[in-house]
Each structure stands twice: as C-alpha cells, then as structure tokens.
C-alpha cells in the first residue's frame, strides 16, 4: 500500500531523538534500528570509521493517524552538513515501479537529481531529488 512519511536527518542524534519521540507518542519502532555498519561496504566511498558505523542508517516510528517518522544520521566524513532546509525530507513509497518512476521524473523536472533511482541492497528502488522549489524528496518503492 502506498504511503507518505516524513524523514528526519540528524548529525549523530537520531537514536537519541527517536527514543524521545517514542516516549512522546507512546509507540514502538516498526522493526529494529538499522545502523550504518549493517550496510555492505560501498567501494566507491571511503570506509566508515568505527564511530560512524554505530550511527543510525534507518529507524521508523509510527505516530498519529497512520503517520510515520523515519530518520537517519548524516555522515560528516561524506560531506553531509545539516542546515536549514535539509533536516526534513518527504518520503514517497508508491506501490509500483511504474508509479515511482513517473513521480521521480515529474518531481525532478526543473530540479536536481541528488541520487539517481537505483536498485538497492534491501531490494527496493531508491533515489533522491530536490525539486525546483528546493524541497527534498526521497523515493523508495518495489525494485525489479
């Protein structure tokens, strides 16, 4: 089923923040927290430090009315910097690859593709853009 969620970016504070949000909303994480060290190494990037491997790659918390907060830690070693405008991303999870490809193409028109759609190790197709109005969007939908 398609859904939309809000993705929050932090600089090393994701787990702390999501434990706080969990206490506020009185809900539990939708699955285990995935850490940077859980992902396979990317030969096109330098290896992560021991400290960065302990940072959050993905966490998901149901909140009100079917809404979901998701989060990740940005990596300073990869040039990530948290600033006004990049702390929140709209995450789209369409039901089909066709709909995901269509939305990605339409929303990226006049904007900037920051990560082309790619079939990822977790089995889904993933990509990111900043639309022509400066709004960051993330796409995660069925792969092959």
Region 94-144: CATH code: 3.30.720.110
pTM here is 0.71
Please identify every stretch of the chain with a pLDDT value under 70, giving residue numbers as ranges: 84-86, 133
pLDDT of residue 126: 95
pLDDT of residue 129: 93
pLDDT of residue 134: 77
- Where in the chain is CATH 3.10.180.10? 1-40+49-82
Task: Please answer whether residues 5 and 91 qualify as being in contact, where contact means their C-beta atoms are separated by less than 8 angstroms.
Answer: yes
State how far Cα 127 lies from the chain centre.
Answer: 9
**DSSP tag of 76:** G
Residue 30, φ and ψ in degrees, nearest 5: -85, 80
Region 1-40+49-82: CATH code: 3.10.180.10
Task: Please answer whether residues 14 and 36 qualify as being in contact, where contact means their C-beta atoms are separated by less than 8 angstroms.
Answer: no
- Where in the chain is CATH 3.30.720.110? 94-144
pLDDT tens digits for 35-71? Answer: 999 998 888 888 889 999 999 999 999 987 788 999 9
Residue 47, φ and ψ in degrees, nearest 5: -65, 150
DSSP assignment of 17-75? HHHHHHHHHT---SSPPEEGGGSPP-TTSPPPPHHHHTSEEEEEEE-STT-EEEEEE--
């Amino acid at each position: 089923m398609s859904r939309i969620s809000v993705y929050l970016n932090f600089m090393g504070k994701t787990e702390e923040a999501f434990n706080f949000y969990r206490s506020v909303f009185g809900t539990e994480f939708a699955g285990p927290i995935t850490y940077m060290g859980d992902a396979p190494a990317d030969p096109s990037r330098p290896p992560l430090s021991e400290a960065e491997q302990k940072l959050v790659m993905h966490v998901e918390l149901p909140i009100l009315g079917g809404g979901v907060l998701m989060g990740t830690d940005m990596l300073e070693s990869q040039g990530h910097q948290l600033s006004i405008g990049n702390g929140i991303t709209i995450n789209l999870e369409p039901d089909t690859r066709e709909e995901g490809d269509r939305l990605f193409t339409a929303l990226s028109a006049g904007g900037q593709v920051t990560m082309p759609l790619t079939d990822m190790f977790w089995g889904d197709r993933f990509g990111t853009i900043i639309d022509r109005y400066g709004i960051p969007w993330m796409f995660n939908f069925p792969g092959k």
